Amino acid sequence: MGTEPFDAVDVIATKRDRKRLSEDQIDWVIDAYTRGVVADEQMSALAMAVFLNGMDRAEIARWTDAMIRSGERMDFSSLPRPTADKHSTGGVGDKITLPLAPLVAVFDVAVPQLSGRGLGHTGGTLDKMEAIAGWRAHLSNDEIMDILGTGPGAVICAAGTGLAPADRKLYALRDTTSTVECVPLIASSIMSKKIAEGTGALVLDVKVGSGAFMKDGERAGELARTMVDLGTDAGVETVALLTDMDVPLGLTVGNALEVRESVEVLAGGGPEDVVELTLALAREMLRMAGRPDADPEAALKDGRAMDRWRDMVRAQGGDPDAALPVAPHTEEIRAEGNGVLTRLDALAVGVASWRLGAGRTRKEDPVQAEAGIEILAKPGQTVRAGDPLLRLHTCTPERFERARQALVGAIEIGPDASEPRGSVVLERITAN
């Protein structure tokens, strides 16, 4: 057994004492942790030191690069199409990937959307897609390349275990050591996987608000700027949009319900906020892929995006004509008075949907494709006492009580109209 060039205790002490980690220290500690030489308790201490004392841009870039180098990288340079990807930090009712991927692919841009499953109140893209009969999330690299190269051009699938294995190990550790909400560690976690996926351009959808991971606009902006810098430093053109997540996105939360709404968008309809954000992200991706004159709005209206969606679903074994599963039990939340709906808290709606069975507490837990919430009124609408505001869906009616508890205090009705909701896109952040 060879001698290690560093000692974990010394690396921890460096960051504990608010000093910069050297490139060699970072390279070693990520590699050694992946190999099992650095123990979980030692990496926990280092993560907490980073949480408390931060990292500068060069440290974060090196940390990210070390995590990328811990595994394999995908290479799309042989594809006949340019590539563009999108990543969302997660929100309530965030089904944007579903209409976005086939929409961008209409314009001969490959979209390698390697996605994950939901944990807690934010839904997972793979969980949504698995509500479609026959659809499969796990594809080989050859299948991915075929779909992107000569097939529909868009793929939504599970990321391979070979991408950034150091991040997968560290992510699980951060979740149990209260070091999740740390911008350097969040940014490097997201970007190590996205850069390893090999896309040529990346648009980040950074949610901010009650239903988002980042509740505060200043912190969300810091995260967005850090990730844009990491992508830029790695040679990937990267842009971030800060988007509103105080109110659920669209009119549905839950897996099959969100697929249904996504299909409505692809058919040229759907809620205004979902359409707005889908088009905003599509335009960014198309511009970076060399298609600045493409008109994604026209592709939604004339059926091209829907045709590409159907091809994309079929390419992964799914049946786009199969009926989506429907929950056998529903219950409505009704307005308690007359007035204007002034508040519908996104986090509370997300938690209620989770408790109905749409989400999971542990990664191995199953989810109900049928469970979720229909939003029958959104802030700014006038309602009368007894009007239905939300419709809860579940396969297990004993879940209704805890879902209702999550919604206590989440709905406010006032006598006057609230400020009209502005654009869902709050800010655009580019490289310095």
* 174 a catalytic residue: yes
In the set 27, 65, 127, 167, the catalytic residue is 167
* 142 a catalytic residue: no
* 169 a catalytic residue: no
Contact indicator for 250, 349 with CB cutoff of 8 Å: no
* 193 a catalytic residue: yes
Rounded CA separation 13/4 (Å): 17
Residue 262 backbone class (left: φ over 0; alpha: ψ -120 to 50; beta: rest): alpha
* 167 a catalytic residue: yes
Range 321-325 contact pairs with CB under 8 angstroms and sequence separation of 24 or more: 322/132, 322/133, 322/134, 324/131, 324/132, 324/256, 324/259, 324/260, 324/369, 325/131, 325/256, 325/369, 325/370
* Cβ atoms < 10 Å from Cβ of 64: 31
In the set 193, 207, 291, 393, the catalytic residue is 193
Contact indicator for 154, 138 with CB cutoff of 8 Å: no
Rounded CA separation 271/392 (Å): 19
Rounded CA separation 279/300 (Å): 9
Residue 361 CB-half CA count within 13 A: 2
Rounded CA separation 254/372 (Å): 4
In the set 168, 174, 225, 310, the catalytic residue is 174
- Taking alpha carbons only, the member of 170, 226, 162 closest to residue 26 is 170
Listed in sequence order, the residues at least 6 apart from 78 whose beta carbon sits closer than 8 Å to its beta carbon are: 145, 149
Place of tokens 């391979």: 160
In the set 15, 81, 86, 87, the catalytic residue is 87
In the set 189, 210, 262, 353, the catalytic residue is 189
Residue positions annotated with a catalytic role: 87, 167, 174, 189, 193
